[in-house]
Amino acid sequence: MSSSEDREALRRQINEAFAGAASPGDGRIAEDPRCCPECAHADEAFRGRDWRQMALSGERLPGNYGGLSFLSEEAWRYFLPTYLLAGLRDDSENALNAADNALFHLTPSDAPDRLRDWYHRRASGFNAEQRAALVAFLDYWYAEHPDWFLCLDFQGTRDYWSRPAG
């Protein structure tokens, strides 16, 4: 398969895996929008948005301050595929940024136990089909850009998502 066929197959897999994802609802975007400016910004950026339309829009997705990190568990699971799909849209800077953000968020934290539990709680809510799509996304980028993984634990991350949830 050519790289563009791989990409198209992966887009389809992500679309199908997350097609039935339920919106977290406007009251469950940021955990607490009043917590800090970053949470307020994230709440504003994602409230009322559809994960798929946001991916296809070509817009620059919120990153760093105002991005996925500040979302509730449900919203994080709903909007993570936005970054996967946007990262596969084209070769624009916005797409590469989205892919980079997605890979960061797919990497289980090396942080202390407290944060590891926090990550695991968020991550364990994906079903088997969705986890398979996340693994396929990792494999795609590892094949395309092994250099991106110099600071990311590819094998550990892949193993993490390959295990059944729970």
Nearest to 102 by CA among 118, 86, 116: 86
Nearer to Zn ion, 57 or 69 (CB): 69
Work out whether 36 is an interface residue with Zn ion (CB under 5 A). Answer: yes
Run of H or E residues at 147 = none
Work out whether 35 is an interface residue with Zn ion (CB under 5 A). Answer: yes
Name the DSSP letter for residue 70.
G
Count of residues near Zn ion by CB under 5 A:
3
**47 Cβ neighbours under 8 A, 6+ residues apart:** 26, 29
Residues 82-141 that bind Zn ion (CB under 5 A): none
What tokens appear for 78 in the block? 């709903």
Work out whether 42 is an interface residue with Zn ion (CB under 5 A). Answer: no
Work out whether 37 is an interface residue with Zn ion (CB under 5 A). Answer: no
Nearer to Zn ion, 35 or 111 (CB): 35
Binding site for Zn ion (CB under 5 A): 35-36, 39
